[in-house]
Structure 1
Amino acid sequence: MSQGSNFVDYVKINCRSGHGGAGSSHLHRDKFTAKGGPDGGDGGRGGHVIVKGNAQLWTMLHLKFRKHVIAGNGDSGGSSLRTGKTGRDEILEVPLGTIARNAETGEILFEITKDGETRILTEGGRGGQGNWHFKTPTLQTPRFSQPGEEGKEEWNVLELKILADVGLVGFPNAGKSTLLSVVSAAKPEIADYAFTTLVPNLGIVAYRDNRSFVMADIPGIIEGASQGKGLGIRFLRHIERNSVLLFMIPADTSRTIKEEYSILLRELNEYNAELMHKPRVLAITKSDMLDEELLQEMKKEVPANVPCVFISSVAQKNINELKDMLWAAINQQIG
């Protein structure tokens, strides 16, 4: 199985929570008591469908074929004020950065960002109250109790936004996958044609003194991605969670560096203006093909307001300088 088929960042699941158990309408009887008062216990609550964060997961592949999730029903209450057993909860483990939304309305319900964090996705029905709740001075022996509350059935969507320190932003074939393969242990597919990367790849980049940071190679943006062209919005959403954006423009671009940079910025701005506040670093890739004269000419084209470095992943040119710039940007963001 290729990484493409292993990486699942969107699942739609039918969630059914458990019904609450009925309350008991038992009246106390024993060998000393012929006509005792009410002692019917409450019904147990129905099972919840729960989402739990797991830092060891990077994908929702394990949920891909789980279309229906059904929690257990609560048991009925018993005599002697015994509460019925709670229905079995169904727990769905998800990667950090997962958003839950209602499939019908599109409303965002919550986001999971911490390891071990649990949130109720579909709440189980409450258990019914036993007859002892209804005893009053004028009604000493109520012979009725509450039924349990029905569970809920609903379609929900779980959607992953990757949590990474650095997100690679660039048009198809800008050299993003090649860079990731050089600076980390990730082995993305690399070929000289547009849209080789159909899913985000993640890599751990080793830095000085045993430090490291996470880099995400996001599928190439094309003009119009914010309107859903090409691979569009489905992949732009991954950029939202990265703390630093590394813009990559190849030295052999048919446009000027400024033009290509401004198109990339425009796409991000149209998709989500908040992305414009993230720290940026600019890398001009494939610069091993430039002679000194051409390099100096191209340096004049670089936008003034962004740290920039000319690199070559293949020739390992300026890779350490790039890591230094990214580390500085990440830590400036954290600070």
Structure 2
Amino acid sequence: MVIICDINYGQGYFIQKPNGILNSISKDVVEIVMKENANKRKLLDNRVLDDRIESICKLEKTIAPDILVSQVHEMFKENEKLSGFCVVEDQIPIGVITRNALYKRISGQYGYILYANKPVRNIMATDFMQVDCLATIDVVGKNAMQRDFDKIYDFIVVTRQEQFQGTVTVKDLMEKLIEIEFVYAKHLNPLSELPGNLMIEQQLEKALKGKDKRTILYFDLDNFKAYNDLYGFENGDRVLKEFAEILKTRISTEHFIGHIGGDDFIAIVPKKKTEQLCINIIEAFNDAVIKYYHKEDIDKGYITSKDRKDVEENFPFLSVSIAGVASDHSKTIFELAETAAKIKKKCKKKQGSNYLLS
């Protein structure tokens, strides 16, 4: 129940009985927790969050390029729900013919007589929209809406390794996009408007299983508690919003950014140029954060606040520690988190904003 309710931490006899010495949690308990987390991800919108176009692709009837226009016309007459056909040759899509395009050709006084006995390849459209089955639904939707007005509602051809796999109607695409947006909004962190832990876990699993080399970046704001205690939660929230905006503007919308909670953030980016990205984020944060301090603290170069033991101490200004872990260095999310924690610990020992990549 604790896991289903998305509670990230817990304690009790099931995990470990009270003891003066803190021992490692038994492997049996760890396995149960991991299994229940996997079940939770299946239960909570995993179906909706399957964002590849192949998840809504349907294998529809195709036609050969040499079939006569009159035969295609008969097929449309027999099934009024048909919006069109993909023309396939040796399993490769070479064109499409829609109901509207066909009727436009054969209408008029001589249209049918002119085209009836000609092969459909003579009138098929060759500039149709074709996408790979692994393309994401949001990217496909964006590209589909940028088509010419007369083609904006044409179906989309889906391929796997360039071979025909099926089609997606604009209606199905729009319905899925609305569904995804609803779930996405439901799991956004209200402060940063970034995806929360459910979507983070799913994206991490996808990154670990994927063939593309990715780097998982963990962001942690240093001295945030001291700042929050002195300047108050409202100013602390402003800093978190600022950092979220820095991530959104520095990281492409094609890549994933999430808000783990508090001052912890995450991003999944291509392995190439990761180092320069970290430098850009650090520079942007260091430049932006100074405006959230009073002049007297800026003049001093530090703030005085209470530490975790309620003792007054001088703290440096806010900085960001970035721990980067390559997706091919871990097999499970648990391993990934352990590796990231070790790297982050090393990174936070350095003063000021820093990054460390595995």
TM-score, normalisation: structure 1? 0.26
Name whichever structure is richer in helix by fraction.
2
The higher-RCO structure (CA 8 Å, 6+ apart) is 1
